[in-house]
Chain A
Amino acid sequence: MKQTLRQSMSWLHTWGGLWFTWILFAIFLTGTLGVFDDPISHWMREQGKIGEIAPSTVDQRSRAVELGQRHLAAVSPRADFWSIGLPGDENPNIRVFWRADEDAPFKQAQLDPLTGAELQPGASRETEGGHHFVHMHFEFHAGMAGIWIVGAATMAMLVALVSGIIVHKKIFADFFTFRPGKGQRSWLDGHNALGVLTLPFLFVISYTGLTIFWATYMPAGVLARYDGSEDAFFARLSEEPAPRPLQHIDALMPELAPLMRRGEAAIGREASFVVVEHAGDRSAAVRVFGRFDPDAENDRLVGRGSGSALYDAITLETLDVQLPNTVRGGSVLQTQRTMNALHFVRFGGYPMKWLYFICGMAASAMLATGAILFMVKRRKKSANEFGAATARVYRGIEVLNVAAIAGLILACAAYFWINRLLPLDVAERGTREILLFFAVWLASLAHAALRPSLAAWREQLAACALLCLGLPLLNLATTGDWLVAALARGDGETAGVELSAIGFGLIFLAMLRQLRRRAPTLTVDRPETAKTAAIDAIGGR
């Protein structure tokens, strides 16, 4: 009863793939949208209307730091950390962040850059913007649990890639092959072509995704050789001073503005953030971060730092200075950072981002076609893998396919609408937007469960097309800004978001047309009860 390698790998690819494909589709789709998190945030915060912000002077920055410090000292005199974000290209306000202690939640506020008065909700369109997609991508907004789910799915992705290559009969002979209009054959061709043609991307993006969190996912080495002390390990690895333990002795914080000026002089860059670790404690330290310069040394993959300077907050002694675009640590650390850079596309600007975006969308489509292919095969002829429960399990898979693929796309498109339609003055507006995103996703699951599968696909795709194509109109109706105005002022970020939405809308329309043409072949057959089919399909022996 032995089976060939190809048979066992086919079983692994089919079932290992199926159970992870819904999570993986979510990871790839939101990660791909996350490539453009900045333009998406730009659109969502209506930054196109603000226009260019004049570069700030050192006095303006000092004043901003003073105002930020005054606010933080009032709201949280003792804190695990304070952070003051200085006004910059994307946001003219002062942003302050703090956390009372290690277990407390992060808090933030925006301050007027001239008066330091806290800006009330409603003054601006408070939103997580494109970061929402990035957080979905690596943790599903679920913290550590989410990071582990994503890690497990990514391992499944690597296994599916390797098993998929072994299963694929003729990678080279079929390299350019796509035969449309042939039902199951076309779905398989499409799945294969999308996977094979983006294979380098798929391997790199999956492997580098795992190695970003290497110490979390695979802590054995640190546990065995550093007694599990990550702080000591990382301090030596990155050749930076280790974090200083809390002393629990109150201390007066110094004026931060002069330290900011010292930091700017030390690293030779404008400051972007001033951070205080252990504010109000004797162990407090102040770190001044430089502003990232996208044009400096942009032919490098790695080591493009913005620079930072670290000071003892009590003695004002310089603890550490890292100049911009310098590298610390040995070659292995640089390798790992190169892998991170490859994952985050932190190089090459927009041309590279577009290449990643296209490859990421192809990867998402590869996952979607795989999930659909599973059901297309079984609609024609049930493989009867689950005995009497087969029909029910198939129905469940079909529902999850609709909700995980069309439903997630719908929720992503709806997120842009929510951003424009939710009143400006609701409390916790950014969080509310994300909750509504999940609500739409959940509604799509309910809809998929209630409707026949073909109708569910059609209706959700139609909704996706409507939301995407209507986005520019919605923006015009709610903010008065529109595509032509954005193009006229050279605002490529706003225009890019809306043009992409139109492009996706047209793709969904094309899919709808295709669905209508093929509708008759998509009806679900009654599952056959033939025992032979069951034996064929089990595989796992």
Chain B
Amino acid sequence: MDPHFALYLVFFVCYAGLLALSLAMDRHHSQIRHGKPAPLLRRALRLAGWSLLALALWLCSLAWGWAIGPVAWFGLLSTAALGFVFLLPYAPRFAAWLAVVGPLLALPPFFL
């Protein structure tokens, strides 16, 4: 995998994973949607969140190998988290939509 492509892809996979994990928390769920998540939804969000983070690690290993991959994973996890946390209070709904819109805008150019 081309490392530049992987950079964007993994960033948004991490971002989506963190978004899911935050949606599983009452405080942030009410920021983005209304009210609290139902118990089942909460569990599903947690599962989705951790799975996406694990997927991100695996994608990193494909792009960079197992020596550099974990370093890239930590770095992308940190940058995605910084982006999400500092966007969330200013534009909560946009912060959520970015998980969908971001990859749609950033990834297709690589296939042109």
Q: Tell me if chains A and B make direct contact, with any CB pair below 8 A.
A: yes
A residues with a Cβ closer than 8 A to B are: 173, 175-180, 193-194, 197-198, 200-201, 299-301, 342, 347-349, 351-352, 354-356, 358-359, 362
**Whole-angstrom CA separation of A370 from B6 in the bound complex:** 34
Q: Report whether A201 and B85 are in contact in the complex, using a CB–CB cutoff of 8 Å.
A: no
**Residues of chain B within 8 A of A347, CB atoms compared:** 67-68, 71
B100 is an interface residue with CB less than 8 A from chain A: no
Of B6, B25, B67, which one neighbours A301 at CB under 8 angstroms? B67
**Whole-angstrom CA separation of A200 from B3 in the bound complex:** 21
B106 is an interface residue with CB less than 8 A from chain A: no
Name the distance in Å between A510's Cβ and chain B's nearest Cβ. Answer: 12
| Residue interface mask B1-18, A partner, CB < 8 A = 1 | 001101100000000001
**Whole-angstrom CA separation of A356 from B7 in the bound complex:** 13
Nearest-neighbor residue (CB-CB) of B11 within chain A: A355
| Residue interface mask B41-58, A partner, CB < 8 A = 1 | 000000000000000000
Name the distance in Å between B99's Cβ and chain A's nearest Cβ. Answer: 14
Nearest-neighbor residue (CB-CB) of A355 within chain B: B75
**Whole-angstrom CA separation of A342 from B72 in the bound complex:** 11
For chain B, the count of residues having a C-beta within 8 Å of the partner chain is: 29
**Residues of chain B within 8 A of A198, CB atoms compared:** 78, 82
**Residues of chain A within 8 A of B22, CB atoms compared:** 175-176
| Residue interface mask B76-91, A partner, CB < 8 A = 1 | 1011011011101110
**Whole-angstrom CA separation of A179 from B88 in the bound complex:** 9
**Whole-angstrom CA separation of A173 from B25 in the bound complex:** 8
Q: Report whether B68 and A352 are in contact in the complex, using a CB–CB cutoff of 8 Å.
A: yes
A197-B78, A351-B7 known; A178+B64 contact, CB < 8 A: no
Q: Report whether B89 and A299 are in contact in the complex, using a CB–CB cutoff of 8 Å.
A: no
Q: Report whether B85 and A359 are in contact in the complex, using a CB–CB cutoff of 8 Å.
A: no
Q: Report whether A197 and B82 are in contact in the complex, using a CB–CB cutoff of 8 Å.
A: yes
**Residues of chain A within 8 A of B71, CB atoms compared:** 301, 342, 347-348, 352
**Residues of chain B within 8 A of A176, CB atoms compared:** 18, 21-22, 25, 27-28, 81, 84-85, 88
Q: Report whether A178 and B88 are in contact in the complex, using a CB–CB cutoff of 8 Å.
A: yes
**Residues of chain A within 8 A of B78, CB atoms compared:** 197-198, 200-201, 355, 358-359, 362
B65 is an interface residue with CB less than 8 A from chain A: yes
* Apart from A176-B81, A355-B72, 13 more pairs, CB < 8 Å: A176-B25, A176-B27, A176-B84, A178-B86, A197-B82, A197-B85, A200-B78, A201-B78, A348-B3, A352-B68, A355-B76, A355-B79, A358-B78
A200-B74, A351-B3, A351-B72 known; A299+B64 contact, CB < 8 A: yes
Name the distance in Å between B60's Cβ and chain A's nearest Cβ. Answer: 11
Name the distance in Å between A204's Cβ and chain B's nearest Cβ. Answer: 8
Of B25, B64, B75, which one neighbours A356 at CB under 8 angstroms? B75
What total count of A-B pairs have CB within 8 Å? 81
Q: Which of A179, A299, A300, A355 has the most CB of B within 10 A?
A: A355
**Whole-angstrom CA separation of A356 from B22 in the bound complex:** 25
Name the distance in Å between B1's Cβ and chain A's nearest Cβ. Answer: 12
Q: 22 A-B pairs, CB-CB below 8 angstroms?
A: A176-B27, A176-B81, A176-B84, A176-B85, A176-B88, A180-B89, A180-B90, A193-B86, A194-B82, A197-B81, A198-B82, A300-B65, A300-B68, A348-B3, A348-B71, A352-B71, A355-B78, A355-B79, A356-B75, A358-B75, A358-B78, A359-B75
Nearest-neighbor residue (CB-CB) of A358 within chain B: B79
**Residues of chain A within 8 A of B75, CB atoms compared:** 201, 352, 355-356, 358-359
Name the distance in Å between A300's Cβ and chain B's nearest Cβ. Answer: 6
**Whole-angstrom CA separation of A359 from B77 in the bound complex:** 10
| Closest 5 pairs (CB-CB, A-B) | A355-B75, A299-B65, A197-B81, A176-B22, A200-B74
**Residues of chain A within 8 A of B7, CB atoms compared:** 351, 354
Of A178, A200, A354, which one neighbours B85 at CB under 8 angstroms? A178
**Whole-angstrom CA separation of A349 from B63 in the bound complex:** 13
Nearest-neighbor residue (CB-CB) of A338 within chain B: B67
Nearest-neighbor residue (CB-CB) of B8 within chain A: A351
Name the distance in Å between B13's Cβ and chain A's nearest Cβ. Answer: 15
Q: Report whether B85 and A193 are in contact in the complex, using a CB–CB cutoff of 8 Å.
A: yes
Q: Which of B3, B4, B6, B21 has the most CB of A within 10 A?
A: B3
**Residues of chain A within 8 A of B85, CB atoms compared:** 176-178, 193, 197
**Whole-angstrom CA separation of A356 from B78 in the bound complex:** 10
**Whole-angstrom CA separation of A347 from B63 in the bound complex:** 13
**Whole-angstrom CA separation of A224 from B21 in the bound complex:** 51
**Whole-angstrom CA separation of A300 from B65 in the bound complex:** 8
Of A175, A177, A201, A354, which one neighbours B74 at CB under 8 angstroms? A201
**Whole-angstrom CA separation of A342 from B75 in the bound complex:** 12
**Residues of chain B within 8 A of A358, CB atoms compared:** 75, 78-79, 82
Q: Report whether B82 and A299 are in contact in the complex, using a CB–CB cutoff of 8 Å.
A: no
Nearest-neighbor residue (CB-CB) of B4 within chain A: A351
Of A173, A175, A359, which one neighbours B79 at CB under 8 angstroms? A359
